[in-house]
Structure 1
Amino acid sequence: MKVLVIGGGAREHALCRSLSLDPDVTALYCAPGNAGIAEVAELRSVDALDGAAVAALAADLGAGLVVVGPEAPLVAGVADAVRARGIPVFGPSAQAARLEGSKAFAKDVMAAAGVPTARSYVCTTAEEIDAALDAFGAPYVVKDDGLAAGKGVVVTEDAAAARAHALACVEGGGQTVIEEFLDGPEVSLFAVTDGETVVPLQPAQDFKRALDGDAGPNTGGMGAYSPLPWADPQLVDEVLATVLQPTVDELRRRGTPFSGLLYAGLAITSRGVRVIEFNARFGDPETQVVLARLKTPLAGLLHAAATGTLAAVPPLRWSDGAAVTVVIASHNYPGTPRTGDPVEGLAAVAEQDGPTAYVLHAGTTQDASGAVLSAGGRVLSVTATGADLTAARDRAYRAVGRISLDGSQHRTDIARKAAADAARATNAGAQA
């Protein structure tokens, strides 16, 4: 089939890379794409938020499947416009995408479906904000109700900072969600669904804070790894039964079935699994490591979800190894990033580290001479696979070391603890 991917970040590069390896994909397009995606897909120009334009492009290309990567086009109804043209599309309707577009809506759905999540208050006034902050106490968790590119959440011990963020969220008629703090490690679990059948993928963990040791401000994500050796082997089955399937069933009951990628952000708390948030699309950078381990051809899986035939798909196949992604970000990210700096060393990674390590482009562009330049906050996702987390991590950081971007930053501790703990467990088992 011919496939059109909408978006231009590292998530879309990961999707395009996997789709390009699928023998059933006869032509692959991406709009607008980026400098790296251009190596595996034909780029097209389109306003990703213009549903009519995306649908027209898909029709002109003869696409048999459209994959909408980012959340903003989904919330804007791009998938609806493509479906209206009779073209299969992987991505939920605007109504179903409210699961990500409004945290208050997501809380309402979870309450109706009996999904375990943090206790919360939806606030629209200063008085309500003060009451909610007093009710929960520190650490304070304050969320912008709408889309915020992964940076709309403040977790702080500082009551004044929490109140300031909440007030900024409600300014101009908005609302904020203030909720209890959830202890324990976080897990990202994706599931492909056609609105009835739900097929979970392998879990991953990402690193939201900008600096080593989970210090610094929230970002869109600075790295990820999969699998999670420390997680309960029954975690995926438990989340499918208590979170994913009930949520999909509730949205179908409401007349707004969710077809696409349902992303559950989870906290493994002392009281059990709790949902932190839902997203309506593949996450970035978790997609990079999850797809690196997926052996089932991607196009058929996404097409089955888009056409309501997911129940007929055989069980997914996964590599036994691990994958690690390290994000290289621009100077000053997650503040206003510096752009236009040359990115060097990409060829060295391909020549010396491929195919077990490779670079996925996020915020890049090319100048007239073909040189790759930084064009965003998160510039590259350096992804590597290996027999275990230690091997994958070593390969990822070796590849990171070959890349030069003036003023760039990256975390040095992605998957460090998980790899060390897994190695100790393996050694202890061998000695026993």
Structure 2
Amino acid sequence: MKLFVDLSPFKYSGAFARLWIGNAVAGIGTQMTLVAVALHIFELTQSTLAVSMVALFSLVPMIIAGLFGGMLADVHDRRKVALAAAIVAWVSTAGIAAIAWGNVDLLWPLYLLTTVNAVAGTIMSAARSAIMPRLLPADLLPAAAALNGISMGVMVTVGPAVAGVLVATVGLSWTYTVDVLLFSVAFLGIFTLPPILPEGEAERPGLRSLREGWDFLKQSPNVRMTFILDIVAMTFGNPRVLYPAVGALLLGGGAVTVGILTAALAAGALLSSLLSGPLGGVRWQGRAIGRAITVYGVCIAGFGVVLLTLHLGWWGEVGEGLPVHIGAVVASCVFLAGAGAADNVSSVFRTTILQTAVPDAMRGRLQGLFIVVVTGGPRVGDLYVGLLAATALLWFPPLLGGVLIVVIVTAAVRRTRSFAEYDALAPTP
């Protein structure tokens, strides 16, 4: 059994390799902007709740975009759908950079443009995910999912770390501008794709198409459970909007600490992807998802415990302007890296189930729903954390959330027998 990641998808499909490279480079810039926007809003307001409002404003448009984008991908050339969405995302990123260069000290343009960017990114992701099974055979899809985990790990490891350094040294304007340049690489992978028309017949975008996808999901307990478990994990276990306040008030270090914490989660995902060779041989993928998300919950609760001990003064005095608590930063990074690794393992199997158990004519709509879950769930989590953090108890959201994840996931997997017995050798939705 291979220990390291399987690179066969790169050898099998040059189109997949180019798409992977373009997405990875552009994603680094996207993650830089996510961190920079959080720091930008916190700088303007000194409010964690204001940072979390990015989630509130973008949530409903993202849900609509995911559903509509999936419907488009089931009736139109998926390459063209991805390209159009990429253009809109690039323009919105340039707009955010222009705001920073113009020293516009207003919140609403940031909220508006980040929402447009999130909407375009959701449509692009839905189309790109529906493209993958057309570029590779089914037996290489787990390896492709692991490679995508590596790209995501690189994105959210390098991006936030670079953002923290750039914001602290050259400022927000240059940080956003670097994203504009990096995002341009995304067009390389999309432009070089062949036309990818959906197989089979599907309803044109509209209520009938949406109802058809929803009916399929209702009759697909295994696919449905992958969505539910991810929503639980991302709603209760996504503490990213805490990072600016934690860096300023508990751990110390400000923007640099924010970048380190964000990168730690991604570093764990990256490491688990690099060591993903054995994942291709896992047969009972439903059980694997349940166990991975349980570990994720334990790690998020552990991060909450570290913050609680800081609050109690176990690491020394805390407060704005005080020295960095190196030991607490390291402990936090260990738990966040563990969470990132567990989430990535779950993602590999959730993606594989969706791509192998869903027919091509339905894949765009289900991928759209999937993207809504994986991008909308964290934004619901941002709101959950922002509201609880308003109590000024920064340790409370991750500690409570981690416990809830363990309890809910354990109960859900035990109650859904078909999911616990899902067999990769005989995939059924």
| Structure with greater helix share of residues | 2
Pick the TM interval, shorter chain: under 0.3
Select the structure that is richer in strand.
1
TM-score, normalised by the number of residues in structure 2: 0.28
Greater RCO, CA 8 A, separation 6+: 2
